[in-house]
């Protein structure tokens, strides 16, 4: 249900053994909710990576972008793919570490107006040990800016769950 980003390939000479010419785009960790009328809402993480070969024969991220794609199928027709959240593209110098994922494991729930609410794990740049829980929602005017619900630097907050009750109260 999702399509890859439309970006040009990296400069020649960048290499990785597990990706074509050091270029990789993935759509992972999908979550789906189906309404009583059969309409489908889905959210997934997108990853957009450029790798390079280091002096030690291992691959390192050179550029990386991550975020969430949302899509809805109503009356049997898929709507446009939307970026619910995008974390800025980063360029790193040779050999600097960059976390493999920024946004991961999203969960989606709907309110009574059929608007999606999403929670997910967030890993800050350069960290594999600090994880936060972020929240984003869609309204009639578009997607909200993400909110950090856990605010726990140096701690690990992971695998969030979300529910919305009949009064549109969101539980995380």
Q: What is the pTM of this model?
A: 0.77
pLDDT tens for each residue of 66-76? 789 999 999 99
User: Does the pLDDT value for residue 13 go beyond 50?
Assistant: no
pLDDT tens for each residue of 62-114? 556 678 999 999 999 999 989 898 775 555 554 454 444 578 899 999 999 99
How many helices (H) does the chain have, and how many strands (E)? 0, 12
pLDDT tens for each residue of 34-62? 999 999 999 998 876 665 555 555 555 45
Contact 69, 43 (CB under 8 A): yes
Spatial neighbors of 139 by CB under 8 A, at least 6 apart, are: 115
Q: How many residues does the chain have?
A: 172
């Amino acid at each position: 249900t999702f399509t890859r980003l439309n970006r040009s390939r990296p400069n020649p000479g960048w290499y990785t053994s597990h990706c074509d010419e050091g270029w990789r785009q993935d759509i992972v960790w999908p979550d789906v909710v189906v309404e009583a009328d059969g309409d489908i809402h889905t959210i997934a993480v997108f990853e957009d990576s450029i790798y390079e070969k280091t002096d030690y024969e291992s691959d390192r991220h050179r550029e990386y972008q991550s975020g969430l794609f949302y899509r809805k199928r109503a009356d049997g027709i898929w709507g446009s793919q939307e970026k619910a959240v995008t974390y800025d593209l980063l360029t790193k110098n040779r050999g600097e570490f960059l976390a493999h994922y920024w946004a991961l494991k999203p969960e989606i729930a709907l309110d009574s107006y059929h608007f999606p609410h999403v929670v997910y794990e967030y890993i800050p740049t350069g960290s594999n040990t600090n994880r936060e829980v972020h929240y984003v929602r869609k309204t009639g005017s578009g997607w909200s800016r993400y909110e950090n619900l856990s605010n726990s630097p140096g701690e690990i907050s992971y695998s969030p769950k979300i529910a919305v009750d009949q009064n549109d109260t969101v539980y995380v």
